[in-house]
Chains A and B, each alone.
Chain A
Amino acid sequence: MKYILSALSLCYLTTSLLQADIIMGVVPQQSPLKLLKVWKPVADHLSKKTGEKVTFKTEKSIEKFAQALYNGAYDFAYVNPHQYIIAHQKQGYLAKIRAEKNIRGILVMKYGTDIKKLKDKNARYLFPSPTAFAATLLTKYDLIQRYNVSIETLNNAHYVNSHDSVYKGISRGVGDVGGGIERTFRNISDSKLKNDIHIVHVTPAYPSHPFVFKADMNERHKEAIGDALLNIPKSLLNTLSIKKLKKINHSEYDSVQALMLKLQITSK
């Protein structure tokens, strides 16, 4: 009996020692609480499926997250396209999986606010973070292209850390126009909030947020995580507001890279 117990203990110990601790980063598009609620189950699923320990991590703000990403803090991460491009440049992250659906940025305003405010140079703009791809970059690009509004020159934008903050800020009158994305807009749980603001502009679609894997991540792990993600249960996908995930490669984000060049966005 004691031999069996010793063997089992050894196995567990070995397993514990051999079990990798894979860090999964997620861009904080929403409040950390909400993120945890949504992404923890995903991490657990991935752990279960891969047999490895997958840990969910994020930061308080998108900037901080971006910094951590660029420093290679995550083994794999769910990032916005803009962050991917820079991460790819700095740490060699590669995009492997994304939602089938493309991403589009939106501009929201409070119901009752004159649409003309969109073009008002005195309007107050709320964005999640300066580098939020769809919510900030795409919307800023369209504001320039379509409405001839250059946020950078006006210097009247506030970066309120999360999409939720944008929506709440617009609803509560802190800002006049806010940038976000369809998914997070759809995910607004507060019905009163949701009914208080509306989308006034949608940008063209770009590839959505990818799951990117660090270059030096164990191939086996990559494979396993990738498989697990592709086979994630529908219920979890629903919480992510993603219909389906697909395999991709880096070339998907060439358009993003071109955009960034156009916006002269560098990896600061």
Chain B
Amino acid sequence: MLTSLKSKFIVSFVSIEIIFFALIIALNFNSLHTASQTLTNEKVQASSELLVELIKTPLIVLDLATIDDAIKSFSKIKGVIAVEVIDNDGRTLSSYLKKDSLLPQSFQRHLQEGRQRVRYDKQSYRFHGFDIIVEDEKIGHINFAFNTTKTNIIIQDNENLTYFLTVLALIIGFLVAYLIGYRLEQSLKQLTTIAQHVANDEQVKIPHNINSKNEMGELFKAMHTMQEHISQRTQNLNHSINDLQQFIKALDHSAIVSKTDAKGVITYVNSRFCETSGYSEDELIGKTHRIIRHPDIDAGFFTELWKTISSKHVFQAIFLNRNKKGGDYYVDASIVPLLDNDGNISQYIAIRYEVTDLINARNKALAAQKAKGEFLSNMSHEIRTPMNAILGFAQILQKNITDEKNLSYLNLIEGSSQTLLHIINEILDFSKIESGKLVIDTHPFDPLFELSQASKFFMIGARDKSIRYLAYIDPTLPPCIEGDLTRIKQIMFNFLSNAFKFTPENKTIRIDVTYLKEEETLHIAIKDEGIGISQEAQHKIFNTFEQEDSSTTRKFGGTGLGLAISSKLTELMGGEIKLESTQGEGSTFSVSLPLSTCPVLEKPLTPNQNLRERSIGFITAKEHDEEIIQLIKQYLKTLRLTKINDNVDPENSKDDIIVFIPDGSIEKKVKALHVPALALLPVECDLCNEAQKIAPLVAPYTALDLINALNSFYPESTKSSDEESISSTTTFTGTVLVAEDNKTNQLLIQILLDEYGLTYTFANDGLEAVEALKSSRYDLILMDENMPNMTGVQAVGKIREYEKPMQCRPTPIVALTANVMEEDKKRFSDAGMNDFLAKPIDTVELERVLKRFLA
């Protein structure tokens, strides 16, 4: 009966009402009765006491008239029915009895019977009597009778009213509860119906009032909103399902799809699976994927596969399958575990694409790549080996031939060989770039020294072409920065090479090298006054094999690889290459490379302290090259040698150092000053005389040369020149073992080692080298790679094996080979070789190696 919300609500509400009203009534009535009793008692007590006080004195003197008057006044009090004053003899002295109230005999009877409360003839009476005492002596007695019926009636009326109102409140409460319960029930029924319709995905209109503020209204509004959201979501879901079905359809056409249960048993395959594998659906369902497993694949692969997917990760790989007919095919597979609502794996789905053709193509490409690499390596080796002889002997002859004519021919041979070598190197670099094997080798270097030296490489070419060549290498470059110096110089040489190629006589080429400390960036800019490049050509000039046009190639030569390689090298070093050019006016090629500074290895080259106070006077004339003078002044200011005097009179100069441009007239005056002087010149310097302290500062007028010259004028006692001599008069001590099969190369190496004063032994192959080492001790081994009987790498392995148990310092072994590919270098290093020298032999490199390993 009390299952429904409505009945529960009504019963609860009414029960609570009844309980509370009952409590209120009980308490109220009790209080009312008590209050009424108390008030009545107090009234009776007070009024009777008052009367007694009033009649005490008249009673004493028996002034009955006064007593009567007092009683008469007293009788006017509401409720007073009777009063009787009796003397000690029992005589009624004065009395009052309200008309039509108690009968006198009833009054007397009740008094005698000692009743205090009497209900008589539907009236309630209260009797009260007490002795009148004066000075502890009883002088009389007084009796009262009060009619408390009215009070009782009032109480009764109040009670009745309370009962009535209570019943009314209960009825109203019941009705209200019923109404609310009914409406609530109706609303809930309506909501239930709506919810059922919504659950059954049936259309139903939800009534709602957007302005409603009560809870039910809010609920209906919420239901309506929910319905709209569900409808929208269902629509979106349907769209998604539709899209998904389209995707599945598309997938089915292109991909091999299968599903398995959590244990890997196939539960679904699509048609592509059957086509590719050659098995029918019936043959596949219920089986595992072992059915298409290729026997050549290691079991460990599948162990790894299962471990990955069973740990809820996606497995992806390309591997071989075998079809029903025994044929092989490659698939690119993605196996995805599908999770249920509890996060456990319920099934797996595998989506595969057949990539057999791709794999085969890849393998072919790899093979071709490998073949190409091997070809290039071999070609490089085969070309470089004879090149080594050509260049090496040309350089030796250059030192020995004095005949100008033959020397000029030799220079041509040497120059052409260098060109050919350069072309081969570019081709090799290009190949490395194409195969992604070009590696940037970062190491610390002194940029001021290295780039100053590098800039001087073109000074002879500048002199020969009568090109004004200036180099501003910032003297405040960090003493050490980290980068691939070889590649940086390659870019610089490429730019300079192009600049010298495309700049006519009497024009200017200027190189600027600066470093921005905040950005840690090295900037190299080469500005020429050459033919310039058209806007159209500027876009493609960095592309491989592109020159401005074919006429450029015919006129100026070149492979078209230089700028492409420079661009790639810049990109690999994280830098930026820029070109600004105006056709007919010239070009500026610049490169910015992010290179961080490093701890200084050696103290950088700076002007001696004693130069700070020296004054430097410039003797110049109008026709002199102002740009060169400004360049020198810029250097001096940067080096904080600020005591500069301009337009010094050569006959009256008081300066400590003179800077001048020889023009045929000034030289004698300068000599007469007998102070150190710096002559700004192209290469030669006839008048330069160390004794007379006139030093040349030749193009490109590097800061390095300036500092060295100034320091030489005023050397400090403990300081010696930091400039390294690369003269061939350097000698070494030690015995060198040379493993080289080519006789020509042996001869070349012999000549070079003789120049350094070294003793040496030749081995014709790796095997001989190993035997030689076992019989004798060597300070250095120069090892060729491609030799009969035993290659260089094999020989090194044997030597290291021999040396290991002997616990002596391993003999330094340097590869001396035409195999210059990166993988070759790595192979040599892995084999145990300590350094690498490329063929053709660079004497600078040779000297470096000798310096490194010999005394």
B93 within 8 A of A: yes
B22 within 8 A of A: no
Interface centre among B63, B65, B87 (most CB of A within 10 A): B65
A169 and B87 CA atoms in complex are apart in Å by: 12
A30 within 8 A of B: yes
Instruction: Determine whether the beta carbon of B64 is less than 8 Å from that of A165.
Output: yes
Contacts of B604 in A (CB 8 A): none
Instruction: Determine whether the beta carbon of A161 is less than 8 Å from that of B93.
Output: no
A159 and B63 CA atoms in complex are apart in Å by: 8
| Interface size of A as a range | 20 to 34
B363 within 8 A of A: no
Which residues of chain A (148-178) have a CB below 8 Å from chain B? Answer: 158-162, 164-165, 168-169, 172-175
Say how far A177's CB is from chain B's closest CB, in angstroms: 14
A158 and B92 CA atoms in complex are apart in Å by: 17
Say how far B764's CB is from chain A's closest CB, in angstroms: 161
A31 within 8 A of B: yes
Which residues of chain B (79-99) have a CB below 8 Å from chain A? Answer: 87, 91-94
A18 within 8 A of B: no
Interface 1/0s, chain B 52-70, versus A by CB < 8 A? 0000001001111110110
A60 and B67 CA atoms in complex are apart in Å by: 12
Instruction: Determine whether the beta carbon of B61 is less than 8 Å from that of A159.
Output: yes
A172 and B68 CA atoms in complex are apart in Å by: 12
A1 within 8 A of B: no
A174 and B69 CA atoms in complex are apart in Å by: 17
Instruction: Determine whether the beta carbon of A168 is less than 8 Å from that of B91.
Output: no
A126 within 8 A of B: yes
Instruction: Determine whether the beta carbon of B92 is less than 8 Å from that of A160.
Output: no
Instruction: Determine whether the beta carbon of A158 is less than 8 Å from that of B93.
Output: no
Contacts of A169 in B (CB 8 A): 62, 64
Say how far B704's CB is from chain A's closest CB, in angstroms: 127
Say how far A103's CB is from chain B's closest CB, in angstroms: 20
How many residue pairs bridge A and B at CB < 8 Å? 55
Instruction: Determine whether the beta carbon of B65 is less than 8 Å from that of A30.
Output: yes
Known: A31-B69, A33-B69, A172-B92. A165 touches B87 (CB 8 A): no
Contacts of B65 in A (CB 8 A): 30-31, 34, 160-162, 164-165, 168
A2 and B746 CA atoms in complex are apart in Å by: 158
Contacts of A168 in B (CB 8 A): 64-65, 68, 94
A174 and B62 CA atoms in complex are apart in Å by: 8
Contacts of A175 in B (CB 8 A): 62
Known: A31-B69, A33-B69. A174 touches B64 (CB 8 A): yes
Known: A160-B61, A161-B61. A173 touches B66 (CB 8 A): no
Contacts of B62 in A (CB 8 A): 126, 158, 160, 165, 169, 174-175
Contacts of B61 in A (CB 8 A): 61, 158-161
A168 and B810 CA atoms in complex are apart in Å by: 163
Known: A159-B61, A160-B61. A165 touches B66 (CB 8 A): yes
Contacts of A160 in B (CB 8 A): 61-65
Which residues of chain A (114-156) have a CB below 8 Å from chain B? Answer: 126
Contacts of B92 in A (CB 8 A): 172
Contacts of A174 in B (CB 8 A): 62, 64, 87, 91, 93
Contacts of A60 in B (CB 8 A): 66
Say how far A142's CB is from chain B's closest CB, in angstroms: 23
Known: A31-B69, A33-B69. A162 touches B91 (CB 8 A): no
Contacts of A61 in B (CB 8 A): 61, 63
Q: Which of A30, A159, A161, A172 contacts B58 (CB 8 A)?
A: A161
Which residues of chain A (40-94) have a CB below 8 Å from chain B? Answer: 60-61
Instruction: Determine whether the beta carbon of A161 is less than 8 Å from that of B91.
Output: no
Interface 1/0s, chain A 11-24, versus B by CB < 8 A? 00000000000000
Output the nearest chain A residue to B65 by Cβ-Cβ distance. Answer: A164
Say how far B647's CB is from chain A's closest CB, in angstroms: 122
Say how far A180's CB is from chain B's closest CB, in angstroms: 12
Interface 1/0s, chain B 89-124, versus A by CB < 8 A? 001111000000000000000000000000000000
Interface 1/0s, chain A 185-206, versus B by CB < 8 A? 0000000000000000000000
Say how far A197's CB is from chain B's closest CB, in angstroms: 12
A162 and B58 CA atoms in complex are apart in Å by: 11
A34 and B91 CA atoms in complex are apart in Å by: 25
Say how far A229's CB is from chain B's closest CB, in angstroms: 26
Output the nearest chain B residue to A164 by Cβ-Cβ distance. Answer: B65
Q: List 24 A-B contacts (CB under 8 A).
A: A30-B65, A31-B65, A31-B66, A34-B65, A126-B62, A158-B61, A159-B61, A160-B61, A160-B63, A161-B61, A161-B63, A162-B66, A164-B65, A165-B63, A165-B64, A165-B65, A165-B66, A168-B68, A168-B94, A169-B62, A169-B64, A172-B94, A174-B62, A174-B93
Additional A-B contacts beyond A30-B65, A164-B68 (14; CB < 8 A): A31-B65, A34-B65, A60-B66, A126-B62, A161-B66, A162-B63, A162-B65, A162-B66, A165-B62, A168-B65, A168-B68, A169-B64, A172-B92, A172-B94
The residues of A with any CB-CB pair to B shorter than 8 Å are: 30-34, 60-61, 126, 158-162, 164-165, 168-169, 172-175
The residues of B with any CB-CB pair to A shorter than 8 Å are: 58, 61-66, 68-69, 87, 91-94
The 10 A-B pairs of least Cβ separation, nearest first, read: A164-B65, A168-B64, A31-B65, A161-B63, A165-B65, A165-B64, A165-B63, A160-B62, A162-B65, A33-B69
